[in-house]
Chains A and B, each alone.
Chain A
């Protein structure tokens, strides 16, 4: 145990260098920066949109148009008695992206039941995501205007009937059913919520595994290359302690990276979606989610965390074995690269295929890959199917223990020095 601690300290000191940590901190800083920036931009985009209107008609109907825009939370700047080109010039000056022209004779034409063209100037400054928000202003404005005018027209022509009832005789009353629970909410909202809660988990897991797998494989291969491993093997350190110290150090580093990434990602997502997980988003929505039991409770989070962490440990154990089988650092890096695919396969399969309906062969193939289980766990936890998540965790545990036993076995025999995995020649040499 004393020697294990000594080794563990050495591993951490070797692996936790600034060269290693700095890139992560930079990535997270970039995330925070982008999150912050887009957060501000998104807020700007949600603020009342400015629109410039040149009223050449100056009648009650043109006034209705302007009023309807103001009521729909547009920030309307009205002009009269100027040319269209000076309208565009002033709009540009004021940083307004949309300018409308209500032509002379507008009221008369509408009264004569003739549809009217409404000139719209769209001033595009750039093609970024937030820049395109301005483009939507025009169509929103037009919808608003059509709504107001058609309501007015219907009310004039057919008295005593609610125009809304005429235009939309039916409207949806959505219910979402999950298991035995039902809530009045739209399915889009529910899936949107679930996505916002879980999309970043596989991404974080993927990044952590890619980095940690490289790290541990390189660390073992470097010890082989520098002969420090031979030195350690000739000392009274037990082979088990060697394997466990490497695994523990890599596990600790992985957890650190995972936490840093999660933190960065959450912040980033909050910024981009303008959605803060902590705040109550929309009380009705929150109630519906609660009613459907879609809030992950503490045990669910713990199970998900275990499943994710076991996946990382399994990747580490595989990489340890591959690193121990490589002659040098370069070969080790090449050997662990395919682990990435092992994660991608279940990620895409679970995303695009309903396993329940899939062929048994495909189903068991997915179950067999230990990295599938965190992807399977999240949806199962939302529908409170804890048992299958626990089975997955048990499978991962067994898989992990077999790998650790294999690694210890390799370290305890000649193979740690004589294994030379090489894809060019056939397998073992």
Chain B
């Protein structure tokens, strides 16, 4: 079966500093896969490379058999990326922003409307969509952006810390939406430094620290292996 994402021996240097030190993992279609690790582990760097906005220093990345570097144009048609701590254009209205992003991906008026309708349904912002984004709370903005990143039904959604900084209820809603769309066949790659919540969201996780992946497996597998109660305890063991 064709893999959704294959990362092989990926390295990234910022000048002399090596942020990612030869990591490898793969993700199945329809799977929710998480990169978990502390701040500065190299999660964002890895996701940016897969999102085609940073060039790898060495190694291979393939998204549905399209190679990063060679097929960037094609990959961009098939992925969506939600950056960490992302905001949106403050002077646009929520609906204006969705229309703008839909315009970028849609090839005709009909699919554009379809994207916008999908996003409107997902974000649940209703009338507030007619207000300027500058007036939104953090939770509202995140819901709008998440809706934007999955409205085009991308083959691979790359979500960098999608719930960080949100209150419990907003985080829960976001996780539910992600799960729902993965069930419908979308592959999801998320990152998080909150290892507890990731158990509820992901099928498999990779534990990354200081640019190196230490373990890959389902949360249950990892907890059994280290005889830990949760993933945080697993990480504490792994990081030793």
Binding site for B on A (CB under 8 A): 2-3, 6, 9-10, 13-14, 17, 225-228, 230-237, 413-414, 417-418, 429
| B104 close to A (CB within 8 Å) | yes
| B52 close to A (CB within 8 Å) | yes
**Residues in B neighbouring A429, C-beta threshold 8 A:** 15
Provide 23 A-B residue pairs closer than 8 Å at the C-beta atoms, listed in order of the A residue: A6-B100, A6-B103, A17-B91, A226-B88, A227-B83, A227-B86, A228-B87, A230-B81, A230-B83, A230-B86, A231-B83, A233-B51, A233-B52, A233-B53, A234-B52, A234-B76, A234-B81, A234-B158, A236-B76, A236-B104, A417-B53, A418-B14, A429-B15
B50 nearest CB neighbor, chain A only: A234
Tell me, in angstroms, the Cα distance from A322 to B52 when the chains sit together. Answer: 23
Knowing A234-B80, A235-B76, A417-B48, say if A227 contacts B85 (CB, 8 Å): yes
| B73 close to A (CB within 8 Å) | yes
Tell me, in angstroms, the Cα distance from A418 to B45 when the chains sit together. Answer: 11
Contact A14 B51, beta carbon cutoff 8 Å: no
**Residues in A neighbouring B92, C-beta threshold 8 A:** 10, 13-14
Contact B96 A235, beta carbon cutoff 8 Å: no
Contact with A along B148-164 (1 / 0, CB 8 A): 00000000001000000
Knowing A6-B100, A13-B91, say if A234 contacts B86 (CB, 8 Å): no
Contact A6 B104, beta carbon cutoff 8 Å: yes
**Residues in A neighbouring B77, C-beta threshold 8 A:** 236
Interface size on B, residues (CB 8 A): 31
Contact B88 A228, beta carbon cutoff 8 Å: yes
**Residues in B neighbouring A418, C-beta threshold 8 A:** 14, 54
**Residues in B neighbouring A6, C-beta threshold 8 A:** 100, 103-104
The A interface, classified by DSSP as helix, strand, loop or mixed, is helix
Q: Beyond A2-B103, A236-B77: 19 further Cβ-contacts under 8 Å?
A: A6-B103, A10-B92, A10-B100, A226-B87, A230-B51, A230-B86, A231-B82, A231-B83, A232-B104, A233-B51, A234-B53, A234-B80, A234-B158, A235-B76, A235-B105, A414-B54, A414-B55, A417-B48, A418-B14
In the complex, how many angstroms separate the beta carbon of A239 from the nearest chain B beta carbon? 11
In the complex, how many angstroms separate the beta carbon of B94 from the nearest chain A beta carbon? 13
B87 nearest CB neighbor, chain A only: A226
B132 nearest CB neighbor, chain A only: A17
Tell me, in angstroms, the Cα distance from A370 to B103 when the chains sit together. Answer: 38
Knowing A6-B104, A414-B54, say if A230 contacts B14 (CB, 8 Å): no
A429 nearest CB neighbor, chain B only: B15
Tell me, in angstroms, the Cα distance from A343 to B67 when the chains sit together. Answer: 47
Contact B55 A14, beta carbon cutoff 8 Å: no
A219 nearest CB neighbor, chain B only: B89
Contact A227 B104, beta carbon cutoff 8 Å: no
| B79 close to A (CB within 8 Å) | yes
**Residues in B neighbouring A237, C-beta threshold 8 A:** 104
In the complex, how many angstroms separate the beta carbon of A229 from the nearest chain B beta carbon? 9
Knowing A234-B76, A236-B73, A418-B14, say if A227 contacts B84 (CB, 8 Å): yes
In the complex, how many angstroms separate the beta carbon of A412 from the nearest chain B beta carbon? 10
Tell me, in angstroms, the Cα distance from A414 to B12 when the chains sit together. Answer: 11
**Residues in A neighbouring B52, C-beta threshold 8 A:** 233-234
**Residues in A neighbouring B79, C-beta threshold 8 A:** 234
